[in-house]
Structure formats: structure tokens, C-alpha cells
Amino acid sequence: MTQPATAIPVDNRPRLPRIALVGVHGFGERHLENLGRLGADGVLELVAVADPLPPAGGTLGPGVSVFASLDELLAAGTAPDVVIVSTPIQTHAPLALAALQAGANVYLEKPPVASMAQYEEVMAAAASAGRLVQVGFQSLGSHALPAIEKLVESGEIGEIRGISATGLWLRNKAYFKRSRWAGKRSLNGTDVVDGVATNALAHAVATGLRLAGARTVTDVQSVDTDLYRANDTESDDTSVVRVRTTDGMVLTCALTLCAPVQSKPSVTVFGTLGQLTLSYTEDRVEITTAEGVRTVAFGRIDLLENLLGARSEAELLSPLSGAGAYMAVLEAIRTAYSPQPIHPDWVSWEGDGDDAHPVVHGIESLIRRAALGQATFAELGAPWTASGDPAFRINDTPVATLQDGSHIRPTSSPRPYLHPVRTLAGTVVTDHVPEDHVWHLGAGVALQDVDGINFWGGRTYTRDAGAYVWRKDHGRIVTDSAVQGDGYRQERLSWVRPDGSPLLREQRGWRWAAVGNSVWKLTLDFTLESATGGPVLLGSPGSNGRPQGGYGGFFWRLPKVGDATIWTPETRGEDAVHGSVAPWLAWSGTFDAGTSSAAHVTGDPGLGPPATLVFLASPQAPDPWFVRHSGYPGVGLSLAWDRPVATEPDRPVHRTVTVLIADGFLATHDIEQLITTLGEQA
């Protein structure tokens, strides 16, 4: 009897992609978890791992080969389709090159490589091998990114004014002891470039660059670096990196590993009608407009799954070619001066032993100010940064520093100003780039409306809108020439439109001198004349219809002041003094900016040293006082309180303002006696 033939089953299932993982510790443990998940779902097959220190028993499934190195793994004929490189930074490039030469696609952890030269070498190798390289910036797989791009295109938040990335993390001593390369810029002559922007918070930089439209090296016009460290390391842990793209966008990344508490990092896109903030570790977007605030949560595509499904580089969410802009940032950091140590007087250590972590005093506010003002820590004048020599001294005591304003962002109307201004005992009595109004700049001259051009900064109040609106109307004031001697400085300035054409010419003079042991006086004399050949109108929000908003002309931004008292010879208090005409205005209190010395460190409002400022009115005109305290501390004399003032070629506008700067509290009789002694007009 003939037996029936037995059918031999044929397995027509496609072969699963074969994956090899190099580096199973540290972040490699997360890759193992993800590989386990995808393996269980039948997406891939983990065939081998390589690490000098093998994983713990039971970590890997059956059939997974273990090797001490990638070279051994490849020599054994494993032939993986994808090699995941999750190893120390300095090994990324040689391992990627070896994997590509073996014919594998590569998943390369961030940062992809340690130099621009390595980047170009790996790029060339991938092109030659015809293989794909995905970079492990997981945040670039977020569905939030295309959603943000569509929202921006819709115009809901208006025109984009800038982008910031902020990160307030803390890392303890153990973090920098976890490996030989941690906290290193180089190791045995090999680039490592570890640091807050290149490793710990690299996703903040990469995500910010993506939203700024910067992917390739050529998308980056310039990179400014301002690098510091509180830890005993080589690498930076507290830094600002400012990127200007070739399209004119500015991305400011303000990052630290020395925060008092850890918070979620984010990227914010600032628009003329609102802003949106992406918390990229949560894929959550907060959208703020005039209609209110709403929050939207998004999902995320796994980058390894994306790599497995991609047939070309264009389908990768985080291709190596798209990391060119990021590599331009890393290269700028790699080639920058070594990070400057933050003086221990400005650092507190919390915790014990390896759990101890540094906290940089005031870092939370500095991070916010840097992001809002598109400024570096040095430009903000953080007390632990290297600052320029004070321009004004009295008996070798520094009392004021002149800033040329060239570093100020365009929408804050760049202009020269004084900051910090100090009492003779060192108490700081000015502020600049504050969180509430980043366009407020120390002591100087500013006007919001000069023939329709904003030389004040920020939004412009228009009569038509009946509100403040963002416009592309910001001018700048530049110094043409200056002569300085003992106790005086004379300057010639140009007030320039956005297109570069001059609108006003200014003669500005500063004079300074001691008035006893605890008081000195500062005099500002300025003359504004038309540079157009015709009349130029000097206006303010007040002259454009905003009640009580007549600021512009001389303006002095104060730091936070505790127990503030504001008065004139006739009246007292912010509401009563504001808009009044009086021969002088006094402001006393405890100045929480502290002193120029690291010996004064306080986060407790009201505990700063006492000081008094006495502002003497201009003798040329009865300009009203502009005073703010409840919203922010500032004093000015209004050139155009409720109507514009014209300056013509033969009729310039001239004002003189004198300020008495005293340590301690002065009473009215003290002030009157000082004014009489000085012979000032009162």
C-alpha cells in the first residue's frame, strides 16, 4: 500500500532584522529594555551584545551572543542588520565606522561624535556604504514637532521672534565619578567634549535647533558660547549657547546641572501674538495666546523602529545628516576656551559624600533672563563671570560700568547704558535685562516713539491698536566717538532706524564726583537733534493715547528694593509721585541686588543693604516724573508725557539730570542740605 506523501511546511515569514547592541550599561540598559519590548512584539531579533563588562546573568534571552568588543562580534560572523552604539562619546566614531564597513546600519547615541572632523568622516562612510545612520535624539521622534510647525505656520502665535531652550538639572558628585570620561573635554589626547550642552541636556539643544529650522552645518551662521563649571571637572555644567541661523533665527540655550531642584527642560517659541512651550521629555505643548492657555499632549515614534522601517535617509526622523547643526554647536564648544570655574563664594553644596551637588546662587533667575533676553551669563553680568573694567571710578572705587549695548537683542533696541551702578560701599542700584522687561537697560536714554521708530525696546503702543503690539520697528543707538577723562565722558551717538539710516544725532555727557564719604553724584547731559534735515517727533505711549504711560527720555531701572519709600518735597508714594512735577524725587530702601562682592549673598527679599537715590529734575523743562514700583522698580523723566516734542536741525532737545547715590537712608532734610551744598537747582 502506497503511503501518502507528507507535506513539508515552509516558513514564509520574513527574517527579522538582526540587532547588535554595543554598550549594555548606562543608557545601554534602556536600549536593552526597548529591545526586549520590540523582540517580544516580533519586530526584531537581538542577536549579540558587546561590552568589556558583560551584562548580569539572566539579562539577555537565549541565543544572544556576548562579546567583549564590536571587533570580536563582527569577526564572529554575526552580520547584524543594525548596530546600536551606546558607549562613551569618544568611541562613537570608530565604532560607527567599523559597523558601516561591515555593512550594518547604525543607531548612534547622542552626541553622535566628538568633533566636526569625525562627523564628516562618518557621513562619508555612510554614503560610501549606502547605509543609514540614525542619531539617538529621541525627542526628535515626538509628534509634537510637526504639530508645532503647523501651529507656527497657521500664524496663531504670530511671527516668530526667537526660540529658547532651558534646562535646570542637578547632578551630584557620583554622576561625575561614574566613568573615566565623565566631565572630561578630552581623555588621553582624544576628544570627549562631555558637558551640559553636549551630553546631559543635548536634547534641549537638538530640539531647539530642529524648531529653529537648523539641520545642516550650513544652516548655522554663528555660535556664541559662554561656558562655566561649579564642579571640579574639565567640562562645563552651567552654560549659555546662542545660535544664529542663516535664516536669521536666534536660539538661546541656557542650561545648568547646578540647580537647587531638578525641573523639566523645555523649548519655547516666542511669537508676536503668543508663545508655545514644549516640555520635550513629556511631549507636552503649552500654547499661550490672547485667548488663554491650553495644553496638548502628543505621542512619540521610537527611533529604532523608525530606522528599521526606513528605506532612505529622508525617512529617518533623526538622520546623521540632520545633526549637522548640532555638530556645529558641539564644535564651537570643543574649540572654545576651557569653561571658567565659578567662584566658590557663589556656590552652595547640598547633600553629603557622593550625593552632594552644587547649587549656583540665583541660577534659576539667570537661566530665565538669558532665555528671555537672548543673552549670555557674561552679558547679564552674573557675579561669577569675568566683567569689564568699570568705566567710572571715584578715588579708585568702581561706581559704574558703561555697556555699549552691542550684545543686546534687536527687539530690545540696542543702546549704550550704565550697569551696574554702585554706591561707594558697593551696593548695586541698577538692573538690566530683568525677567519682567528684558528691554530695560540700567541707566540711560531711551524713547519708544521717534518718528515711529522704537528706541525703547519690546512692544510698541500704538493709537490705532489701543494696545502694545510687536512690530518690526526697533532702532538702535550706536556710539560714533567718545572722549573720557577724570570724572567726565563725552560721546557722540547716532540713533539709527532698522534700515540703518540715521534719525537723530545725540551729544551725551557723563560727569561723576564724590560728595563726602557715602554719597556721589552722577550727571547725565544729553542733546537730541534731527539727522534728517527736517523735524523729528519724540513721542511716548502717553503721547500715543495710553493714559499715565508717558515714559521716555532719561530712565533708570532699579533692582528689587525692599521697604521702598518714594517721595518728592510735596508728596509721597508711587501713585502720588507718578506724573507729578517736582524739583527732586527720592527712592530709598534695601537693594536686593546686593553688593559687588561675593560676601553678600541672600535670597531673602528685604535683606539687602540700604541705599537712597535722589533724582534732580532737568532745569531745561518741567518734565513729569515717571515712577513704577508695584509692577517693577523704575524712575524716569518724561520728555513727551501726553504730547510729542519736536526736535529740529536748529532747535535740539536738551536735558540734564543729576542723581545723588547714597549709602544708607536719607531723610528730606538730608536731601535738601545736600542739594544746597552742591549748589544744584532745586
- Inter-residue contact 455 to 413 (CB < 8 Å): yes
Q: Is the pLDDT of residue 601 over 60?
A: no
164 — phi, psi (to 5°)?
-130, 150
| Each residue's pLDDT tens digit, 616-631 | 999 999 999 999 999 9
pLDDT above 90: percentage of residues in the chain: 91
| Each residue's pLDDT tens digit, 504-558 | 999 999 999 999 899 999 999 999 999 999 999 999 999 999 999 999 999 999 9
Q: Is the pLDDT of residue 3 over 70?
A: no
User: Which of 440, 474, 441 has its CA nearest to residue 460?
Assistant: 474
pLDDT at 61: 86
pLDDT at 4: 46
- At CA 283, angle to CA 282 and CA 285, rounded to 5? 110
User: Which of 209, 273, 280 has its CA nearest to residue 243?
Assistant: 209
pLDDT at 387: 67
Mean of the per-residue pLDDT values for the chain?
94
Say how many C-beta atoms besides its own lie within 10 A of residue 419's C-beta.
24
- Inter-residue contact 562 to 629 (CB < 8 Å): no
Question: What is the CB-side half-sphere exposure of residue 104 using CA atoms within 13 A?
Answer: 27
pLDDT band at 5 (very low <50, low <70, confident <90, very high): very low
| Each residue's pLDDT tens digit, 354-365 | 999 999 999 999
Burial of 391 (0-12, 13-18, 19+ CB in 10 A): middle
Cis, bond preceding 111 (omega within 30 deg of 0):
yes
Cell numbers given for 96: 560607527
Decide whether 18-138 matches 388-678 in CATH topology.
no
Which positions ≥6 away from 663 have C-beta within 8 Å? Answer: 423, 424, 425, 427, 518, 519, 609, 610, 611
Of the two residues 12 and 75, the one the predictor is more confident about is 75
% helix, strand, coil for the chain, step of 5: 20, 35, 45
Report the CATH architecture of 140-299+327-371.
2-Layer Sandwich (3.30)
Enter the CATH code of domain 388-678: 2.70.98
Which residues are registered as beta bridge partners of 286?
277, 295
CA dihedral 199, 120, 138, 162 (to 10 degrees): 80
pLDDT at 680: 53
Domain boundaries, the chain: 18-138, 140-299+327-371, 388-678
pLDDT band at 607 (very low <50, low <70, confident <90, very high): low
Instruction: Report d(CA 160, CA 276) in Å as an integer.
Output: 11
Q: How many Å from the N-terminal Cα to the C-terminal Cα in the chain?
A: 131
- Inter-residue contact 670 to 614 (CB < 8 Å): no
| Each residue's pLDDT tens digit, 90-111 | 999 999 999 999 999 999 999 9
What single-letter DSSP state applies at residue 197? Answer: I
Q: Is the pLDDT of residue 13 over 90?
A: no
| Each residue's pLDDT tens digit, 383-431 | 999 766 778 999 999 999 999 999 999 999 999 999 999 999 999 999 9
Which positions ≥6 away from 673 have C-beta within 8 Å? Answer: none
pLDDT at 388: 65
pLDDT above 70: percentage of residues in the chain: 95
Strands (E), 205-306: 220-229, 238-245, 250-256, 266-271, 274-279, 284-289, 292-297
pLDDT at 678: 83
Q: In this predicted structure, which of 48-62, 150-164, 204-218, 311-325 has the lowest mean pLDDT? A: 48-62
Which positions ≥6 away from 586 have C-beta within 8 Å? Answer: 565, 566, 567, 568, 612, 613, 614, 615, 666, 668, 671
pLDDT at 56: 84
pLDDT at 608: 79
Q: Is the pLDDT of residue 30 over 70?
A: yes
Q: In this predicted structure, which of 60-69, 409-418, 592-601 has the lowest mean pLDDT? A: 592-601
Strands (E), 404-487: 417-421, 443-446, 449-450, 460-462, 467-469, 476-485
pLDDT at 245: 98
pTM of the model: 0.93
Q: Which fold has domain 18-138?
A: Rossmann fold (3.40.50)
- Inter-residue contact 226 to 377 (CB < 8 Å): yes
User: Which of 410, 365, 396 has its CA nearest to residue 383?
Assistant: 365
pLDDT band at 649 (very low <50, low <70, confident <90, very high): confident
Which residues are registered as beta bridge partners of 521?
513, 660
Q: Is the pLDDT of residue 567 over 90?
A: yes
Instruction: Report d(CA 82, CA 49) in Å as an integer.
Output: 12
Instruction: Report d(CA 211, CA 413) in Å as an integer.
Output: 25
Q: Is the pLDDT of residue 11 over 90?
A: no
Which residues are registered as beta bridge partners of 349?
358
pLDDT average, residue stretch 5-22: 71
pLDDT average, residue stretch 572-579: 96
| Each residue's pLDDT tens digit, 453-469 | 999 999 999 999 999 99
Instruction: Report d(CA 395, CA 28) in Å as an integer.
Output: 61
| Each residue's pLDDT tens digit, 178-191 | 999 999 999 999 99
Instruction: Report d(CA 257, CA 260) in Å as an integer.
Output: 9
User: Which of 650, 660, 588 has its CA nearest to residue 617?
Assistant: 660
